[in-house]
A and B are shown apart, each in its own frame.
Chain A
């Protein structure tokens, strides 16, 4: 059974930094594309970033490009999101998601973690 467990969400001040982690199990982590998707409280879903199986292909949404960095450690079946220069509008639940497709292709969000809450407030 696929399991994705996010951690690292806390309250942080504007301008601060945070690193989210996602521990994956139940599948061959090192062959699948992975994503971060976020959801502000009471709002809709917003895709944040995607990384290919070997980290060679990375995409970001316009709203986080230049401030966030996605990475992965296949030896530890872990996905990360380094978040810098945080803003109040980054307040959201952050979901780690596994893509259906392998390699550098993205097909759809097949599995989701339960999310970790990041609150950016002074």
Chain B
């Protein structure tokens, strides 16, 4: 059971917009920044969003992060087949003095 809650799966067709949610609580999302990671099949994770809504250089602006209270969201617009991957949210948790991850959301592009 993960500290941060994500839907196990999401799907969309090419060109569509999909939203992946991440629900936490006061000591984690409510008090600290959220980051998002993309893991393509058979590869190591890669950061997509940091500090709730910042994109590292090289990450297209089709990926958008937001946060409100104890929940965060990752929105992927203009969906492409190359976006098929597992997506994870993460944040520092003050109550356990450690990082916590969501269980991951597998995105399927139909």
Interface residues of A (CB under 8 A from B): 35, 37, 44-47, 50, 59-62, 95, 100, 106-110, 112-115
Contact = CB atoms under 8 A, between A and B. Distances in A.
**Most chain B Cβ neighbours within 10 Å, of A35, A106, A107, A108:** A108
3 closest A-B pairs by beta carbon, nearest first, are: A47-B99, A108-B35, A112-B44
Q: Which residue, of A45, A107, A112, A115, has the highest number of chain B Cβ atoms within 10 A?
A: A45
Contacts of B103: 44
B46 A108 contact: no
A47 B3 CA distance: 12
Interface stretch (B13-21, B76-84, B90-98): B90-98
10 contacts: A44-B2, A44-B88, A45-B45, A47-B99, A59-B98, A62-B96, A62-B98, A106-B99, A107-B51, A108-B35
A56 to B, nearest CB: 15
Interface secondary structure of A, over-half rule: strand
Main secondary structure of the interface of B (DSSP, over half): strand
Contact of A108 (B39, B43, B50, B100): B50
A59 B45 contact: no
A107 B33 contact: yes
A109 B47 contact: yes
A61 B98 contact: yes
B104 A44 contact: yes
B101 interface: yes
A47 B47 contact: no
B102 interface: yes
Contact of A107 (B43, B50, B97, B104): B50
Given A114-B44, A115-B44, A109 B97 contact: no
